[in-house]
Amino acid sequence: AQRVTQPEKLLSVFKGAPVELKCNYSYSGSPELFWYVQYSRQRLQLLLRHISRESIKGFTADLNKGETSFHLKKPFAQEEDSAMYYCALHPYNAGGTSYGKLTFGQGTILTVHP
């Protein structure tokens, strides 16, 4: 069974400070990892997926298979980054077949103060 852990429920930083939202996972196969963001009272929307290896809104995330982590980072936080962030895992087996079940962590509420 897969599991996603986001150890911090709340994270507060000041504008311009670096921010790191932690995500650890457990899964015996090859996972695909995602970060979703939910702004106040809106739908969840995809922020990043690890296979894309791109930066969105200044955020990056690197999959570390050794540490089973997929931490989300931004060097200079902005007030508009304040939101709920969810890390999610999509499992694949050794043969590359998707199991389909998308498992989310508990989420981290990021608050960026002016």
Partner 1 sequence: DAGVIQSPRHEVTEMGQEVTLRCKPISGHDYLFWYRQTMMRGLELLIYFNNNVPIDDSGMPEDRFSAKMPNASFSTLKIQPSEPRDSAVYFCASSFRGLAFFGQGTRLTVV
Binding mask of the shown chain, residues 75 to 114, with x at each position contacting partner 1 by CB under 8 A: -----------x-x-x-------x-xxxxxxxx-------
- Minimum Å gap between C-beta 42 and partner 1 is 8
Output 73 or 90, the one with its CB closest to partner 1.
Answer: 90
- Residue 32 makes contact with partner 1 by CB under 8 A: yes
Reference 58, options 39, 77, 41; nearest CA is 77
Find where tokens 């963001």 sit: 37
Q: How far apart are CA 17 and CA 48, in angstroms?
A: 21
Reference 28, options 48, 50, 7, 3; nearest CA is 3
Reference 90, options 24, 22, 8, 4; nearest CA is 4
- Minimum Å gap between C-beta 89 and partner 1 is 10
Interacting residue ranges for partner 1, rule: CB under 8 A? 32, 34, 36, 42-46, 49, 86, 88, 90, 98, 100-107
